[in-house]
A and B are shown apart, each in its own frame.
Chain A
């Protein structure tokens, strides 16, 4: 059974760094062609893909946010971590991690329940 769960702070002050952790089970990121992405959803409900990390540690980022994002994985802990630097109130959103079962099948077949992050002083 595949599950993903996001964790991180609910409230972050502007200019700080946000660190989010995705802990998953039921699959391994050491499996060939497996990928995990981070996606966020604003209060207005728009969905925005942020970053992806592959089984071989290849990493991909949103064009508009790439200078502020870092994605990493700890295969032994079944975790993927996303950091967002210099946060702003516009970064307020529900952050999801999601699995793509293969680099040849890049839809998101399993999602975490999401974690709401509010950026405010």
Chain B
């Protein structure tokens, strides 16, 4: 199985600031990567697919990049609604696997 690693587990940032979240795959997954946002008590919400494509309806302050084994999710101009947990997920090969998640907290 492909292992997805996100670090650190918690990140603090300020409203209006910029944050970059990293996800690493244990082997190359090309650009078969998605990013999800999850708030307490809710299902994950798709933000980015194919590593850098913005899902319809997602604000343009969210962007994704990377290929192979290193990926980033960047949120520019953080809004109060952005403080949540973020997961990466690979769909390059079965079984699909998720990172352990990064909780973004308000500084």
Whether A108 contacts B55 by the Cβ 8 Å rule is no
Interface assignment of B87: CB less than 8 Å from any CB of chain A: yes
Measured between alpha carbons, how far is A89 from B1 in the docked complex, in Å?
Answer: 24
Interface assignment of B85: CB less than 8 Å from any CB of chain A: yes
A107 touching B95 in the complex, CB below 8 Å, given contacts A46-B100, A113-B43:
no
Q: Which residue of A lies closest to B42 (CB)?
A: A113
How many residue pairs, one in A and one in B, have C-beta atoms under 8 Å apart? 54
Q: What total of chain A residues lie within 8 Å of the partner, measured CB to CB? A: 23
Please encode chain B, from 32 to 53, with 1 for each CB lying within 8 Å of some chain A CB and 0 for all others: 1010100000111110011000
Measured between alpha carbons, how far is A98 from B46 in the docked complex, in Å?
Answer: 11
Which bucket holds chain B's interface residue count? 20 to 34
Cβ 8 A contact of A46, one of B1, B50, B96, B98:
B98
Q: Which residue of A lies closest to B46 (CB)?
A: A109
Whether B94 contacts A60 by the Cβ 8 Å rule is yes
Whether B95 contacts A45 by the Cβ 8 Å rule is no
Whether B96 contacts A106 by the Cβ 8 Å rule is yes
Whether A63 contacts B1 by the Cβ 8 Å rule is yes
A106 touching B43 in the complex, CB below 8 Å, given contacts A45-B101, A49-B97, A49-B98:
no
Interface assignment of A24: CB less than 8 Å from any CB of chain B: no
Whether B85 contacts A107 by the Cβ 8 Å rule is no
Measured between alpha carbons, how far is A109 from B48 in the docked complex, in Å?
Answer: 10
Chain A residue numbers with a CB within 8 Å of B55 are 109
Cβ 8 A contact of A49, one of B32, B96, B100:
B96
Chain A residue numbers with a CB within 8 Å of B100 are 45-46
Measured between alpha carbons, how far is A48 from B97 in the docked complex, in Å?
Answer: 7
A108 touching B95 in the complex, CB below 8 Å, given contacts A47-B87, A96-B43, A114-B43:
no
Whether B91 contacts A106 by the Cβ 8 Å rule is yes
Would you list 12 pairs from A and B whose C-beta atoms are within 8 A, ordered by A residue? A45-B85, A47-B87, A96-B44, A106-B91, A106-B96, A107-B49, A108-B34, A108-B44, A109-B46, A109-B55, A111-B45, A112-B43
List the 9 closest A-B pairs by CB distance, nearest first.
Answer: A111-B43, A107-B34, A106-B91, A47-B98, A107-B49, A49-B96, A62-B95, A109-B46, A60-B94
